[in-house]
A and B are shown apart, each in its own frame.
Chain A
Amino acid sequence: MITKRIIPCLDVKDGRVVKGVNFLGLADVSSPTKLAKFYSDNGADELVFYDITASAEGRALFTDILCEVASTIFIPLTVGGGINSVDDFDRVLKCGADKVSVNSGAIRNPDLINAAAQKYGDQCVVLSVDAKRVDGTYHVFAKGGREDTGMDAIEWIKRGQSMGAGEIVLNSIDTDGVKNGFDLEMLGAVCEIATVPVIASGGAGNIDHFTELFNTLPKVDAGLAASIFHFGEVDIHDLKKDLDSSGIIVRL
């Protein structure tokens, strides 16, 4: 049986991991390579590196870092942030990324999904969607959740799949940062129409939230989180042991 995946997400700026990482016993907590190794050793099934750099220098540094990570960590790596063209796919895939996640770049230019899927295969293209409730429907938000595009999230995901997105990351803005659990209602609506793996993001605060996620929505393939892993609130080994004892199949 395919296992449910647990995925930590790391924000990288100018070659360093930012947005608060705090581990006991890990001296340099902003080194992407050291953190990647730590997570890989502790049971992460995959890693997401999100490039939040704005400058060209920072971008170049990001790809250097990626090469370094991919030379030492041998689990799937997904890269997101600043992906606007097929050339951007090329840039990160050459450095050892396995999957590339598109968000605002695909909203601006949906053909990017198509073009990248044709060149690199569906499995390589991850459509990341930030969604929020607006007047009883789910709207897609752009620019890191700041701008309402007015697009219906369910329709956008359907379109993304038909154009070749091989995986969907659904980040609920409504539950993000609240640590009160994943947005099961929104995820459920996405699972109804998803034909490709769905990765849940936004809202995890403790181990039980992951158990609840996979028990309530068996069609969800993976859970993604950042701060609860970075601050040691949830240890991935403990999380997976708990999931296993609840009958959820994980890689131990």
Chain B
Amino acid sequence: MVAIVDYGVGNLFSLKSSFSYIGEEVVVTSDPETIRNADRVILPGVGAFGDAADKLFGSGLAQLLIDLANEGKPILGICLGMQLLFEKSYEYGEHKGLGLIKGSIKPIADKVSSDYKIPHIGWNALKFTEKKSPLFKYINEGDCVYFVHSFYGADCEASLIATAEYGFDVTAAVSSGNVYGTQFHPEKSGEVGMKILKAFCEI
């Protein structure tokens, strides 16, 4: 069973539907026992990093996720959920993240000229790093996925598994052991996205 962590951030309808679509049993929950008992955990999120981090740490879910990550449970952070896996974020101030992925979250605006519109929104092609991640076993380099974000994962070379070109190589996905993160939304990336979620469910 897949547990989607509900900590009061964003709309989880499509995410839940996408796991049902690929035939996975899925639950949206904030209950620590349910999350602990799940085979896999999804950390979703849209909105501001600071607000989301406060909710995760305030509810105790942050520590639970850190513990589960250390115990080897497969965890996938999506969009802001990926960013929350990092050590810290510089989105409107400085905020502490879960520290499961080495690196920090910085504004795209600092990296690109004003010709590039922000947020980075739309379909963009994936470029894999040297060793193909098991997350991508059903898809090919160059396949497009859907992005919506204004901040990006920086200084995370050791964990980088895919990038997308938007004035520079934007972090598209990361992994460290059993912890995975995608900046893009697999649940909005059509068949390619479903194949990524399916691959995650087989990890």
Contact = CB atoms under 8 A, between A and B. Distances in A.
Interface of A: 1-3, 5, 40, 45, 67, 70-72, 74-76, 93-96, 98, 120-123, 166-167, 194-197, 221-222, 251
A74 B14 contact: yes
A74 B18 contact: yes
A71 B146 contact: no
A74 B188 contact: yes
A5 B17 contact: no
Interface stretch (B58-66, B90-98, B120-128): B120-128
Contacts of B194: 74
A74 B122 contact: no
B17 A70 contact: yes
B57 interface: no
B20 interface: yes
Interface residues of B, number: 30
Contacts of A3: 122-125, 144
B139 interface: no
Interface of B: 11, 13-14, 17-18, 20-21, 46-47, 117, 119-125, 144, 146-148, 165-166, 187-191, 193-194
Given A96-B17, A122-B119, A251-B144, A75 B124 contact: no
Nearest to A73: B190
Contact of A71 (B20, B46, B117): B20
A74 B123 contact: no
A221 B122 contact: yes
B166 A71 contact: no
Given A3-B125, A121-B47, A122-B119, 5 more contacts: A1-B125, A2-B124, A70-B17, A74-B189, A75-B146
A76 B11 contact: no
A172 B157 CA distance: 46
A197 B122 contact: yes
A94 B148 contact: no
Contacts of B187: 74
Contacts of A96: 11, 13-14, 17
A71 B123 contact: no
